[in-house]
Amino acid sequence: MRKRIIWKSDMEEISIHKAQEIVDDWIMKIGKGYFSHLTNMALLTEEVGELARVIARKYGDQIAKKGDLDASLSEEMADVLWVLICLANQSGIDLTKAFEESIEKKTRRDSDRFLSRH
């Protein structure tokens, strides 16, 4: 049997690994399984678009229409993270390991790249 769902009252600081476990638990118990990879990719694109809309209106030159700023930047970022975690989980990707490898790669590649910046 799967572990219980961890609710907000159980959370303090959540590691990437723990977030993957929480999402998987929620998807299996409440969502009754993952959407297909293709559907989740479309949902990720949709969520990134919603994040872009908030950023364009809040920090960019676009003027917000009524209701455009109802969604918060943090809410949209969390939605992007949720779907990204879904894709990682259903693809068998350990995001902690992938993130560590990404930092190592960027450090090797870019260690001297930004020396001229203030």
The predicted pLDDT at position 79 comes to: 98
The predicted pLDDT at position 1 comes to: 47
Please count the structural domains in the chain.
1
CATH code: domain of residue 85: 1.10.287.1080
- Tens of each residue's pLDDT in the chain, 118 residues: 455 655 565 667 899 999 999 999 999 999 999 999 999 999 999 999 999 999 999 999 988 888 777 779 999 999 999 999 999 999 999 999 999 999 999 999 998 898 888 7
Asked, for residue 74, whether it belongs to a domain, the answer is yes
Closest CA to 36 of 79, 86, 78: 86
Distance in angstroms (rounded) separating the CA atoms of residues 42 and 58? 24
Asked, for residue 7, whether it belongs to a domain, the answer is no
Asked, for residue 76, whether it belongs to a domain, the answer is yes
pTM of the model: 0.84
- Parent domain of 86: 15-93
The predicted pLDDT at position 29 comes to: 96
Cβ 16 vs Cβ 99: under 8 Å? yes
What is the 8-class DSSP label of residue 65?
P
Placement of tokens 């068998």 in the chain:
92
Closest CA to 71 of 51, 42, 56: 51
